[in-house]
Chains A and B, each alone.
Chain A
Amino acid sequence: MTPDVAPWYVAGPLLGLVIVAMRALLNKPFGALGGYIDLATCRSASQALSLRGFVLLGIVLGGAVYTLALGSFTQTLEYPAGGATVALGPVARIGLLLAAGIAIGLGARLAGGCTSGHGMCGVSIGSRASLVACMTFFATAVAFAHGISLAGGGP
């Protein structure tokens, strides 16, 4: 984070415009999860990725473009998140993050969307399922973060 972090009132509306652009160009919802489903269910290399796979690849690309243009590729195995703030060895940390990733993928597919698909895009089009999903994952994650913090997993 060497350059200035974009303030919410710049980054938020811009992300909103990406959702609008997806509608204007493709009439498709914006979401990251579908790309993972695409990658996971792609049976062979010759079977081309669908649109949502390309959206996900685009997100990777966007992170790289930002880092090339304005950031730096600093490498660290430190990972200051949730339970990983406790002193864990690299192997334990990788195991924990892998498990967290599995919960993210499993839960989001069951729910039919993630923070972008349900949380931003789904809520913006007024899908009641997305509103319920968004309130549920926010409530759960806030409660979990406080629980981890109380259990000594961080400051």
Chain B
Amino acid sequence: MNAKLAGLLCGAAAGFIMTWAALTDPRVIREMLLLQSTHVFFLMGSAIFVAAIGVRVLRRAGLRSLVTREPIGWTGEPPATRHVVGSMIFGAGWSIAGTCPGPAAAMIGQGQLMGLVIAAGILAGVVLAGAHRTPRAAASGEAVGAAGL
């Protein structure tokens, strides 16, 4: 299987699940952020729990990835100021829009016009964030950020 096709399928599974779990409904995000509902907290927590065990099992077994044939592994990243500052700006936008990059994309698939508006904003914001970087800094920044992306 082609790597891009595998990525498309993984994305499609994620988009389907996000939509099924109503993460594309800004009311659900709003209830979570107002601490009125535990749905999203438990959802993210259980996703992290399953992923944390799953990826460690793969790494411990010394497997190679099926499509790209790489030894399975990763490196974490030490925290830096940009993680805090960026996440504060991101958190503010998340709170106002009631959605974030993944669910906003799924929203477009659902045919919600507002998803397109938010996605257009995200694209503009991504360009703005990249504008002050030199190509070299951008490349290294992305390489470092790749662990978290």
Contact = CB atoms under 8 A, between A and B. Distances in A.
Contact of B80 (A6, A37, A94, A129): A129
B148 A127 contact: yes
Nearest to B66: A25
- Classify chain B: how many residues form its interface, as a range: 35 or more
Tell me if A's interface is mostly helix, strand, loop or mixed: helix
27 contacts: A5-B20, A6-B20, A12-B49, A14-B47, A18-B14, A32-B102, A57-B8, A63-B15, A63-B106, A65-B12, A65-B109, A66-B15, A73-B111, A82-B97, A98-B120, A99-B93, A101-B93, A105-B93, A105-B126, A112-B82, A112-B141, A118-B148, A125-B51, A125-B147, A132-B87, A140-B88, A140-B90
Contacts of A24: 58, 63, 65-66, 72
B67 to A, nearest CB: 5
A83 B94 CA distance: 11
B78 A129 contact: yes
Contact of A145 (B33, B67, B70, B105): B33
Interface string B106-128: 11111111100111111111111
A49 B4 CA distance: 9
A16 B8 contact: no
- Classify chain A: how many residues form its interface, as a range: 35 or more
Interface of B: 1, 3-22, 24-27, 29-30, 33-35, 38-40, 42-52, 54-55, 58, 63-68, 70-74, 76-80, 82-102, 104-114, 117-130, 141-142, 144-149
Given A100-B121, A107-B88, A127 B101 contact: no
Nearest to B90: A107
Nearest to A144: B95
Interface in A81-116: 81-85, 94, 96-116
Nearest to A34: B149
A20 B76 CA distance: 16
A101 B120 contact: yes
Contacts of A10: 21
A96 B30 CA distance: 16
Contact of A36 (B51, B79, B82, B119): B119
Interface string A25-62: 11111111111110111000000011110111111111
Contacts of A94: 114, 117
